[in-house]
Amino acid sequence: MARCSFLGLGVMGAPMAKYLVKAGHEVTVWNRTTAKAETWVQEVGSDKAGMAVSPEEAAKGADFVLSCLGDDPDVMSVYEALTPVMATGMVLVDHTTASAKLARSLNELAAGKGAHFVDAPVSGGQAGAETGQLTIMCGGSDDAFAKAEPVMQAYAKQITLIGEAGAGQTAKMVNQICIAGIVQGLSEGLAFAQNAGLDPAKVIEAISKGAAQSWQMENRWQTMVEGKFDYGFAIDWMRKDLRIALEEARANGSKLPVAALVDQFYADVQDMGGNRWDTSSLIARLGQEVTHGDSGK
């Protein structure tokens, strides 16, 4: 078993770190809000779980340093703090959804210290983190990935090395681009069915085993028609992810008209007060009744 450090105990990081302890690893956590780290240690209730008051204290002497933070500036700030304790052979794994440019910079930073780096954004949402069933897209060298994969298996159902550093983040952009279009299409379809006087349950029963089927349809159609939007990834975070994807698209010459449009639709939902609603709340801007308008705030 390994000595691990986990940095960032949000809705994703906290359960991921718990699975590391469950797998038998020693885990020292750090969170910007110390109270969250204290609560995490109490909830885990294991002599293999501890906390630190700074990222560098948490990472000192660790075999693996894993992070799940907010945005590029957050990650860069933490990694700058880690630099003095980076050591030869240490494996750094960043699960934050961030830019590919940042991932490549962190890889160079780690390599300069003789450490390994893997950018490893995740998909599966809060539910996937809590059940240990995340999908992880990785960028890094074969050697770095080979070292990191056994540790990540504690909370993942699928781990794929996409390519060199930055490739994991780029693959996550593909994931978010696809989700944006699917959720908008599902929102329009459900709103159309309701306006046509159809029973959404019967419509979904009829179409969910055909070509229209998707994870979003299977898992979100009912909460969408009920106006309940506290079941996953918040709009504020989705807009951050789409911003990163749109910036990358401008850099590599890709055209993302649907993603750009849906990003603006999410801005409309934010204007409705839905910043913390989950991504399925796109249906709310189509005039459908929101029966629990404070859901997810």
Report, as an integer, the average pLDDT of 88-114: 98
pLDDT over 50 at 22, yes or no: yes
Asked if 20 contacts 62 with a C-beta cutoff of 8 angstroms, the reply is no
Q: Give the residue, 233 or 270, on which the prediction is more confident.
A: 270
pLDDT over 70 at 296, yes or no: no
Asked if 7 contacts 66 with a C-beta cutoff of 8 angstroms, the reply is yes
* Fold adopted by 170-286: N-(1-d-carboxylethyl)-l-norvaline Dehydrogenase; domain 2 (1.10.1040)
Catalytic residue among 18, 36, 147, 172: 172
For the structural domain made of 3-163, what CATH number should be given? 3.40.50.720
* Nearest by Cα to 163 from 144, 141, 134: 141
Indicate the helix (H) or strand (E) that contains 240: helix 235-252
Cα separation, 233 vs 279, whole angstroms: 6
pTM of this prediction exceeds 0.85: yes
Q: Is 172 a catalytic residue?
A: yes
Asked if 35 contacts 58 with a C-beta cutoff of 8 angstroms, the reply is no
Q: Alpha carbon 147 to chain centroid distance?
A: 22
Quick: pLDDT tens for 38-70: 999 999 999 999 999 999 999 999 999 999 999
Quick: pLDDT tens for 119-129: 999 999 888 99
Burial of 32 (0-12, 13-18, 19+ CB in 10 A): middle
Joined together, the tokens standing for residue 209 give 């085993």
Write the DSSP symbol of residue 96.
Answer: S
Q: Give the residue, 114 or 287, on which the prediction is more confident.
A: 114
**Residue 289's pLDDT band (boundaries 50, 70, 90)?**
low
Q: What percent of the chain has pLDDT over 90?
A: 94
Please state the domain extents for the chain. Answer: 3-163, 170-286
Write the DSSP string, 154-223: GGEEEEEEEESTTHHHHHHHHHHHHHHHHHHHHHHHHHHHHHTT--HHHHHHHHTTTTT--HHHHHHHHH
